[in-house]
Amino acid sequence: MKLQANPDDIERYVSSGWWEENKGLSDFVEDNAKRNPNGVAYQNDEFAITWINYFQRSNELAQILSERLGQGERVLVWLPDNANVHIAYLACEIAGLIAVGVGWKAGLQELKHLSDKTTASILISNELNNYGTRDEISKHLNIESIGIENNLENQNVENRPPKDERGVSPSDLWFLNSTSGTTGLPKCVMQTQNRWFYFHKKAVEFGNLDSSDIWMSVVPAPFGFGLWTAHVTPTLLGIPCFLQERFDPKKAAEQIEKYSVTVLCAVSSQFVMILDASTNIDLSSLKVIFTGGEAISPSRARELEDKSGCRVLNFYGSNETGTLSGTKIFDPSDKRRSTAGKVIPEMQVRLYEPSSKERLPDVGKGQPACKGPALSLGYWMDDLANSELMTEDGWFLMGDLVEIEPEGWLRVTGRVSDFIIRGGKNISAVAVEREVELHPKVALVAVVPKPDERLGETAAAYVQLHKGEELDLEELKLFLGSNGVSIEWWPESLYVLENLPISSGGKVAKGELRQLMERKEINK
């Protein structure tokens, strides 16, 4: 199991300017604390923490952890999305420990699985949580625990423990987070800081970012999207980052207006909800929205761009791979909204045949894979999962099907497994979703397979409608027919929910919808 990036890769990526040789996030925070001590680092609602306070509290917690744990031990961090979670992550880095990030929405089963999987030594959490007290959770997990709310005293910057004694190198294993899959127990992805430093450089380039920006991330902190948008890039730019403990689209829109936020980071379903909640709210301060995590609706992206004047950008990749491609602020609007951008040369994107894993030409259709400076170290203690993730020569596979045009533009056409197999024909759930979401009454949609005795499977659409709207299957079919959509792509069942379930990673939880479908069939 690799606990550090390959030495040859480190040398090559550092010399190319993509990675840092020695400087870690705690060094950047220290720089910000000295240069702009009273500047805001993080803000939730009206509560803000300054760079100096962020640095001091992280060092104090690091000292407490260092006294109780040995270098390289794992620390289970289960906190809401506020400044405390970032203090805990930074403290682990300073103390030479590996943070295990767990989403605040995680259930007890997931917590126990991640604690056991990583052999975590201690839990950092709030005194009260969704399931009781911290002590009760600690007993359930059979590990010690520590609070973070009020037991940290300020100390001088000069009192920081020497980093070379305990700290984590930017190319070392630094963080473990879970895949945000919606079925089964999650796997743990091994993270280095350098992969996210590289990702940050791409974000700055693609989004034309600078130190004058004001940032908002409403993505859960422990996951890949949340790490770079809340823990990494705001720190490297030295700018304030607005957070939300519980996602509230209207409050997010109001804060964008109040604080003149210029960069918003949100998964696709979140930015749609912010758009819908901002009818009488001014979003014109926005210049860039970074989104992803699920397919983007071109029509909703256009609507948001028209309302705010911003550019909706996305990186295509995963928690395991980082980024294979991305859209840029100056890309043509049709390409920016309908593709995942151009492939990034240094990520060496390849295409494979999904079943045989035979190498295909790099232009055309297939299952993509990559190898480059954005890669993780793979899965923690899971040889079987790593063998499925990687090709024999070390390329990391995505779980999607894509088409790459001769000019390099990449389009996601579906998931390797996200198909409805109707009468022996594969129908992309993503493609059906893109058509259904064009209906003016539909706010969010997810399409899942429904068992059918005659055809094997049919498409079932779960939709969340705009407030006050009603929609039935016949009206939807008439709409799809008028748009020229093939009958085979029409959903044969429609279920209207007040709210679609959202996973701990902020995406529509298709696994829950599949389970809901299965229960419906059993009850029949």
93-145 pLDDT, tens digit each: 999 999 999 999 887 878 998 999 999 999 999 999 988 999 999 999 999 99
**Would you say 137 and 123 are in contact if contact means Cβ atoms under 8 Å apart?**
yes
Q: What pLDDT is stored for residue 524 in this prediction? A: 62
**Does the pLDDT at position 367 exceed 90?**
yes
**Would you say 304 and 329 are in contact if contact means Cβ atoms under 8 Å apart?**
no
**In this structure, how many other beta carbons lie within 10 angstroms of the beta carbon of residue 130?**
13
* Structural domains in the chain plus CATH codes: 342-415 (2.30.38.10), 418-523 (3.30.300.30)
Please enumerate in sequence order all residues whose Cβ is within 8 A of that of 500, keeping only pairs 6 or more positions apart, or say none: 269, 444, 446, 462, 463, 464, 508, 509, 513
Tokens representing 381 are 């203690």
Residue 521 pLDDT class (50, 70, 90 cuts): low
- Which comes out higher in pLDDT, residue 434 or 213? 213
**Does the pLDDT at position 346 exceed 90?**
yes
State in Å, rounded, how far the first CA of the chain is from the last one: 48
Mean pLDDT of 77-100: 97
Q: What pLDDT is stored for residue 429 in this prediction? A: 87
Range 414-431 burial, b when 16+ CB lie within 10 A, else e: bbeebbbebeeeebbbbb
**Does the pLDDT at position 190 exceed 50?**
yes
Question: Using CA atoms, how far apart are residues 180 and 376, in angstroms rounded to an integer?
Answer: 15
**In this structure, how many other beta carbons lie within 10 angstroms of the beta carbon of residue 96?**
24
**Does the pLDDT at position 164 exceed 50?**
no
Q: Is the dihedral of CA 110, 112, 113, 117 positive or negative?
A: positive
Q: What is the DSSP string of 113-127?
A: HHHHHHT--EEEE-S
**Does the pLDDT at position 210 exceed 50?**
yes
**pTM to 2 decimal places:** 0.85
Instruction: List, for residues 468-495, the tens digit of each pLDDT value.
Output: 999 999 999 999 999 887 787 899 999 9
**Would you say 92 and 137 are in contact if contact means Cβ atoms under 8 Å apart?**
no
pLDDT averaged over every residue in the chain: 91
**Does the pLDDT at position 519 exceed 60?**
yes
Per the document, the length of the chain is 524
Residue 13 pLDDT class (50, 70, 90 cuts): very high
- Which comes out higher in pLDDT, residue 108 or 438? 438
Residue 296 pLDDT class (50, 70, 90 cuts): confident
Residue with tokens 């295990």: 100
Question: Using CA atoms, how far apart are residues 377 and 173, in angstroms rounded to an integer?
Answer: 8
Q: What pLDDT is stored for residue 110 in this prediction? A: 81
Question: Using CA atoms, how far apart are residues 93 and 162, in angstroms rounded to an integer?
Answer: 12
**Does the pLDDT at position 423 exceed 70?**
no
Residue 506 pLDDT class (50, 70, 90 cuts): confident
Q: What pLDDT is stored for residue 297 in this prediction? A: 79
Instruction: List, for residues 141-163, the tens digit of each pLDDT value.
Output: 999 999 986 444 444 444 555 55
Q: Is the dihedral of CA 408, 414, 416, 422 positive or negative?
A: negative
Instruction: List, for residues 376-418, the tens digit of each pLDDT value.
Output: 999 999 999 899 899 989 999 998 899 999 999 999 887 776 7
Q: What pLDDT is stored for residue 155 in this prediction? A: 42
Q: What pLDDT is stored for residue 79 in this prediction? A: 96
**Does the pLDDT at position 166 exceed 60?**
yes
Q: What pLDDT is stored for residue 295 in this prediction? A: 66
Question: Using CA atoms, how far apart are residues 166 and 171, in angstroms rounded to an integer?
Answer: 15
Question: Using CA atoms, how far apart are residues 448 and 459, in angstroms rounded to an integer?
Answer: 6
Q: What pLDDT is stored for residue 294 in this prediction? A: 63
- DSSP H helical segments within 24-151, as ranges? 25-35, 51-68, 83-94, 108-118, 134-141
Residue 342 pLDDT class (50, 70, 90 cuts): very high
Q: Is the dihedral of CA 128, 133, 134, 140 positive or negative?
A: negative
**In this structure, how many other beta carbons lie within 10 angstroms of the beta carbon of residue 515?**
15
**Does the pLDDT at position 60 exceed 60?**
yes
Instruction: List, for residues 214-264, the tens digit of each pLDDT value.
Output: 999 999 999 999 999 999 999 999 999 999 999 999 999 999 999 999 999
Q: What pLDDT is stored for residue 165 in this prediction? A: 65
